[in-house]
Amino acid sequence: MAPTSRPLPAAPPARLGWHRGAVVASTAETPRAKTLAIDVPGWPGHRPGQHLDVRLTAEDGYQAQRSYSIASPPEDGTQLRLIVERLEDGEVSPYLTDELRAGDELELRGPIGGYFTWSVDAGGPLLLVGGGSGVAPLLAMIRHRAAAGGRVPTTLLASFRTYDDIIARDELGRLTSGDPALRVAYTLTRAQPPGWDGLARRVDQAMLGEVFGPPQPGALAFVCGPTPLVESVATALLDLGYASRQVKTERFGATGGGG
């Protein structure tokens, strides 16, 4: 009897190492959120939707670490963009938003995650739902789509507390004005400016049906934000008739993961 061969065990995934990145710019997005542009030599590249870890080390050796979604597209190469929302009781975000300056260095580890990712070759239509700074990985997808010249029908439904809290408002306005296949809808949950004709409540099933229309077999939905929003939106999409394989989620706690 001939001996049977057994498949070799899969190689363990490569251990992610830490990179040192230099801050290029810190730009205010809203009164509480900033976009950090960081040049990371040796960055291996990423897929839209992935995240990374940021580690801070104090003079006494104490370390604090937080995860942030990458908001830049892979086409930007070694220059990454992170959106950081300041949390009053946070351990990391106040430093990143208030004290960090151009030229300062950060330790970064990534890219991390492979489930919550999309690229133009995955097709669509692409349906995106984000709450607050949860729009960051969705912006990476939209920016990648634009950089790659993609024309996949794409709709972003973004929920913010007020008009002043909207992230990347001007950029999204420019992108939609030149691309009829890209639509953006905002809902403001706490206050609306005079003359506001957009949505003005928390995302619910009726709103999803209104913004996205009837389910389409090839549609891909990505939902990112605070846990309550993500869970309610995912359930609503399933109730509307989307299959579970069409809906991918990424969530953070009510305090944004501890800041």
Q: Is the pLDDT of residue 256 over 50?
A: no
DSSP 13: P
The model carries a pTM of 0.91
**Helix (H, G, I), strand (E, B), or coil: what is residue 249?**
strand
Domains in the chain: ranges and CATH: 18-112 (2.40.30.10), 120-258 (3.40.50.80)
Indicate the pLDDT class of residue 253, thresholds 50, 70 and 90.
low
Q: What is the pLDDT of residues 84-114, one digit of tens each?
A: 999 988 889 999 999 999 999 999 999 999 9
Cα distances (Å, whole numbers) of residue 39 to 77, 112, 177, 258: 9, 18, 30, 25
Q: Is the pLDDT of residue 234 over 60?
A: yes
Q: What is the pLDDT of residues 44-84, one digit of tens each?
A: 999 999 999 999 988 888 999 999 999 999 999 999 999 99
* Closest to 77 in 3D by CA, of 173, 156, 143: 143
Indicate the pLDDT class of residue 255, thresholds 50, 70 and 90.
very low
Cα–Cα distance between 20 and 105 in angstroms, integer?
7
pLDDT of residue 1: 34
Indicate the pLDDT class of residue 117, thresholds 50, 70 and 90.
very high
